[in-house]
Structure 1
Amino acid sequence: METQNLPVVVIGAGPVGLAAAAHLVARGIEPLVLEAGTSAGSAVREWSHVRLFSTWSEVTDPAAEKLLAPTGWVKPDPASFPSGGDWAERYLQPLADVLGERVRTGVRVTGVSRAGRDRIVDADRATQPFVVHVAHADGREEKVLAREVIDASGTWTTPGPAGGSGLPALGERAAADRITYRVPDLKDPAVRARYAGRRTAVIGTGASAFTALAYLADLARADDGAGTHAVWILRRGISGSTFGGGTADQLPARGALGLAAKAAVDDGHADAVTGFRTEAIERDDDGRLVLVAEDGRRLAPVDEVIVLTGFRPDLSFLSEIRLGLDERLQAPIALAPLIDPNQHSCGTVYPHGHRELAHPEKGIHLVGMKSYGRAPTFLAMTGYEQVRSVVAAIAGDTESADRVELTLPETGVCGGAGLFDAPAAEQSGDGCCTPAPQLIQLGSKAPAEGTSAGGCCGS
């Protein structure tokens, strides 16, 4: 079957998916963007209250800017930091608007395969178009044929669990009414009332956990926040890199975020419990939650739990596609060594393109956060470079596809997402991955129950 006249289906109308569409249009290739949400950037809108640690100059794609320019779109101040809401309203939605009918919202991709070929069939496989099954909000189903498929669906819908084994902790699902897997919007009165004056466990590390700790500390300092306290649960220990790159980070807002989380601990608004891998979440007689570790330690009851243990790719709708994924990260095999957090907790990720993103199934491309699998090191600039290279390869421009056109900022640690507006503080002299301390007291409070020493580069 002739496939050249079919569209390239792009799954997801987020920043990277829309950038892919813009690059396709620039190359004279017709895209069809399929978005499960009701509007462009639907995932970004769910964290509209969180400010990025990247400036506007780092979160818009050059091909998208060129597509927007004739509409009179004016790029926001390149040096300012957008919130998720700003990013969606001032860039993603206008870009979707100019793409017009090429972007379809309210349609969820439920499966991708080769037309007439399941996963095990080899015969004429490469000559068949892709078939994409789509479910509409009203229950209707549809089949779309595609020349190639770019999956930019991200990982937002599949957050990691509280359980230290990678599975939900025993009782985690039953405690769902007291658990959130997102950074709460404490400017929302109803959400603020949920956490004000309460004891909240924050499980995880990285920028999202830093953001939650800083938000809770701000609430504790406010007139309506008396009694608000956080318990920060780390699966490993405290080290020089635990709070990020600090003043060594060339994305200053990202460094400031870690320093603000450190201030929350130092000022006594949060206690840290290290070496704690959650095995169970139980309720006490008052209905509060008790976290139980794999080693049997039990924490004092908390009112709420915020789980920020990263995200995972949803590969369920790609089960008939032959993917080449690293067994640990669930990222493309050639990409995995470049982004492995076991190796890249410091420094930057090498810019990469279509070759590192390749799979045994030709014509399928996982890009953006989806391409990183479980690795927490992604930047928007990286995704834009990915789709520039992938689209050039689709267009047959191998020279451009192989060319690296991105320089990433140096940093004490890699990746993460989310920022608040506090100014940077001064960083201590600790370097990255310094030896873990012994049993310590954090902040002005007594040590949290179960605090222990741990290894390098906390979870």
Structure 2
Amino acid sequence: MVIGAGPVGLAAAAELAERGMPVLVLEKGDRAGAAVAEWGHVRLFSMWRDLVDPAAATLLAATGWDRPDDAAYPTGAEWAARYLAPLAAALGPRVRLGAEVTGVSRQGRDRVVDTGRDAQPFTVHVRLTGGQEERIIARAVIDASGTWGSPNPVGGDGLPALGEAAAAERISYRAPDLTEPAQRARYADRRTAVVGRGHSALTALVALAELAEQAPATRAVWVLRRGDVGDAFGGGAADQLAARGALGQRARAAVAAGRIEVVTGFRTDGVRRAEGGRVVLVDDTGRELDAVDEVVTLTGFRPDLSFLSEIRLGLDPTLQAPVELAPLIDPNVHSCGTVYPHGVAELSHLEQGFYLAGMKSYGRAPTFLALTGFEQVRSIAAELAGDHEAAARVELTLPDTGVCGGSGLFDAPESAAGAAGCCGPDPETVEPTRPSLTRPALTRPSLPLLR
């Protein structure tokens, strides 16, 4: 059973199908790649060559699929239309749309019961579009449902700021599509606060800066929790994903030109209504920003674990990622972008046969690449097929961000804090070695995915 018909969920199905294993994908949306379609206006950093799973490509080739130019950069809408939709069609009845998973457990065993637990299959509770409910029996479950539906709040402590819910009509948690007339009208000639420092925030800031060229009264305020901009612009020309590096350079140029106002060391504690329906952000020291018309909150995402309450997950207490994966992706330890490829060993839980994959496996950690997810599900599929050698083998090299350094002290300038990071102040070009991690023994029996 695979939860989610996004890029990684469909790749998992293709990998399993290639190995001749029965598989069913459950997607709560009305189409494959439903979440991707919601950010369809955003152009990806990765080229097409890195956005197509190898097993999926084989499956699609048999249908006469017209593969896009490997060197082109698609938008989310193009990725969904030209790859995800055809892949779902090629998988046929193995993909069910309008099927929301509401719970996963062991048949006849709640979370507490040990006796005979690993011998029992999983029960997957499903709610269909019309409200009907089903229970499906599965021998293994791959949760690739992503994190798109669970954005982080504007509140600096991880909880909604006081007044955040009351000001909901002025707050967005997605990068706006300024090519869409209603969205453009919402932000043109208005003052917008963008909260966050990741690539989504840079995307929104660059779009607002470009809008200001046509609508000169448009203003963007970049609100950062850290005490300095630091390496938020990324690695620039050193980034092995050229489009990602170029985005940071464009944002840097917009700041230098005065089209983006920067506020640092501001951890939002409250949202206060002001005259004319505008809002004022207040930080945890009582400092207030000038009133804004709109707030775009791009502070990351978190996994929805609510329907997994009966599953024994082994999660890192900080990131909510699998405990063996967390040291490789923890932004408190490093921000190098050199995340080691990983597979079933790092994704296993106490509950045998259950895996988190894709963006959801990263918990609250940022900077997930599709290539990472494809490698994850290739390894998981091999393990489920009993091919333990292939499951343990690394078959992927990831591009570097061109940024090297730790997250540093929360309030310290990154120029000073970065030297204490994982890479050191003056990195050499060396062949990376994988960290030594304690891993559970992989001695599980081969099991079909569906009963």
- TM-score, normalised by the number of residues in structure 2: 0.90
Say whether 1:221 aligns with 2:210. Answer: no
Matched-pair identity in %: 65
1:180 has 2:162 as partner: no
Higher RCO (Cα < 8 Å, 6 or more apart): 1
Task: List per-residue Cα deviations over 1:309-356 (Å, max 9, x = no partner).
Answer: 000000000000000000000000000000001122124100000000
Whether the 8 Å contact between 1:241 and 1:433 is mirrored in structure 2 is: no
Alignment of 1:95-134 (within 5 A): 95-134=87-126
Equivalent residues in 2 for 1:271-350 (5 A)? 271-350=261-340
Q: What is the CA–CA distance in structure 1 between the aligned matches of 2:119 and 2:39, rounded to whole Å?
A: 41
Question: Is 1:57 aligned to residue 43 of structure 2?
Answer: no
Q: Does 1:46 align with 2:19?
A: no
Partner of 1:353: 343
- 3-state DSSP class of the match of 2:344? coil
Query: What secondary structure is seen at the aligned counterpart in 1 of 2:381?
Result: helix
Q: Mean Cα displacement is larger for which, 230-239 or 122-131?
A: 230-239
Q: Which runs of 5+ in 1 are unaligned?
A: 1-8, 414-430, 437-451
1:235 aligns with 2:225: yes
- Cα distance in 2 for partners of 1:242, 1:48 equals 24
SS for the counterpart of 1:220 is: helix
Which AA in structure 1 matches 2:349? H
Shift of 1:434: 11
Give 1:237 deviation, angstroms: 2.4
2 CA distance for matches of 1:83 and 1:406?
Answer: 24
Distance 1:138 1:93, change over 3 A: same
Q: Look up the match of 1:441.
A: none
Which of 179, 202, 207 is matched with 1:210 structurally? Answer: 202
Q: Does 1:91 align with 2:83?
A: yes
Partner Cα distance (2:21, 2:95) in 1:
14
1:387 aligns with 2:365: no
- What code does the residue aligned with 1:198 have? R
Q: Following TM superposition, by how much is the alpha carbon of 1:149 offset from its aligned partner in structure 2, in angstroms? A: 0.2
Alignment partner of 1:271: what SS? strand
Taking structure 1 as the reference length, the TM-score comes to 0.88
Farther-moved stretch of structure 1 (100-109 vs 232-241) = 232-241
Q: Please say if residues 213 and 230 of structure 1, whose CA atoms lie closer than 8 Å, have aligned partners that are also in contact.
A: yes
Deviation for aligned residue 1:382 = 0.3
Runs of 4+ in 1 over 4 A off after TM superposition: 431-436, 452-457
The one-letter amino acid of 1:107's match is A
Unpaired runs of 5+ residues, structure 2, are: 419-451
Deviates more, 1:278-287 or 1:386-395: 278-287
CA distance in 2, matches of 1:20, 1:26: 10
Contact 2:332 2:406 in 1 (8 A): no
- Report the secondary structure of 2:91's partner residue: helix
In structure 2, do the counterparts of structure 1 residues 453 and 394 end up closer, same or farther at CA, with 3 Å as the change threshold? closer
The answer to whether 1:30 aligns with 2:22 is: yes
Partners of 2:272 and 2:367 in 1: how far apart?
33
The alpha-carbon deviation at position 285 of structure 1 amounts to 2.6
Partner Cα separation in structure 2 for residue 347 and residue 170 of structure 1? 34
- Which of 353, 357, 360 does residue 367 from structure 1 map onto? 357
CA positional deviation for 1:377: 2.3
Equivalenced residues, count: 415
Asked if 1:402 is matched to 2:378, the reply is: no
| C-alpha separation in 2, matches of 1:66 and 1:163 | 45
Q: Distance in 2 between matches of 1:280 and 1:412?
A: 36
